């Protein structure tokens, strides 16, 4: 079984594919607003965001889709494809938590398409902030109660300027805004990684 699995992977290129945008991002030949990086996993802002904070999580190696991801266990080794699924899922969780933290909103859609509806044939998960509820302004609902008790203070909530959403048209990401947004998400993801590392008892694999 194992022999069969390994030999069937043998003809797959371990290096990136020249015609694949995500491989180009993974190799650094194409720029991207990175929010997370590990040996096998990468996350960056979608250049055509459905909503502000839309992030893509991909394995570094070219893998067509989720079903094609190697589930060979790492057993402490980081060679070849061993541990790829573990590391990818770990990255996905950490980035999901980080996006929720950075946007102060855990309502997210986490989506992957397989063949059907798949535009880029390199495994990727979309992390998309949920649409605002009809008639509500995101994150401002919590301040409504206090504004009722205190008569009209003109203090804008600190996050206000970050709130306007890009909308549903998938407009191309504005570069200046993207730099700032990526910085915020990266900082939140770093915090999550630090929290996770601190939760472990400092063994040799305490590194996330
Ligand atoms: Zn690729
Ligand atoms: Zn996609």
Q: What is the CATH number of the domain that holds 185?
A: 3.30.428.10
User: What domain range is 33 assigned to?
Assistant: 15-132+165-196
In a domain, 126, yes or no: yes
In a domain, 141, yes or no: no
Q: How far is the CA of 204 from the centre of ligand 1 (A)?
A: 31
Q: Which of 33, 62, 122, 124 is catalytic?
A: 124
In a domain, 6, yes or no: no
* pLDDT value at residue 8: 39
DSSP 3-state assignment of 36? strand
pLDDT tens string, the chain, 208 residues long: the values are: 333 433 334 344 445 788 999 999 999 999 999 999 999 999 999 999 999 999 999 999 999 999 999 988 877 766 678 889 999 999 999 999 999 999 999 999 999 999 999 999 999 999 999 988 777 655 544 444 444 444 444 444 443 333 333 334 577 888 899 999 999 999 999 999 999 999 886 655 545 5
Q: How far is the CA of 105 from the centre of ligand 1 (A)?
A: 30
In a domain, 191, yes or no: yes
Number of domains in the chain: 1
In a domain, 188, yes or no: yes
Is position 126 annotated as part of the catalytic site?
no
In a domain, 9, yes or no: no
Q: How far is the CA of 1 from the centre of ligand 2 (A)?
A: 32
Task: Judge residue 150's burial from the number of C-beta atoms within 10 Å of its C-beta, 0-12 exposed, 13-18 middle, 19 or more buried.
Answer: exposed
């Amino acid at each position: 079984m194992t022999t069969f699995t390994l030999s069937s992977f043998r003809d797959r290129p371990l290096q990136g594919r020249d015609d694949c945008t995500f491989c180009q991002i993974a190799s650094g030949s194409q720029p991207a607003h990175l929010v997370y990086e590990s040996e096998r996993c990468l996350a960056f802002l979608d250049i055509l965001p459905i909503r502000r904070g839309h992030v893509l999580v991909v394995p570094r190696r070219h893998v067509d889709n989720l079903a094609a991801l190697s589930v060979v266990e790492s057993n402490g080794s980081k060679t070849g494809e061993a541990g790829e699924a573990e590391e990818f899922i770990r990255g996905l969780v950490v980035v999901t938590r980080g996006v929720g933290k950075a946007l102060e909103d855990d309502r997210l859609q986490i989506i992957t398409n397989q063949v059907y509806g798949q535009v880029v044939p390199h495994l990727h998960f979309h992390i998309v902030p949920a649409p605002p509820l009809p008639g509500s302004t995101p994150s401002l609902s919590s301040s409504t109660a206090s504004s009722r008790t205190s008569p009209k203070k003109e203090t804008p909530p600190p996050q206000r300027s970050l709130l306007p959403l890009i909308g549903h048209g998938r407009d191309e990401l504005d570069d200046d805004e993207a730099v700032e947004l990526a910085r915020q998400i990266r900082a939140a993801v770093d915090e999550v990684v630090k929290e996770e590392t601190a939760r472990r008892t400092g063994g040799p694999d305490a590194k996330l």
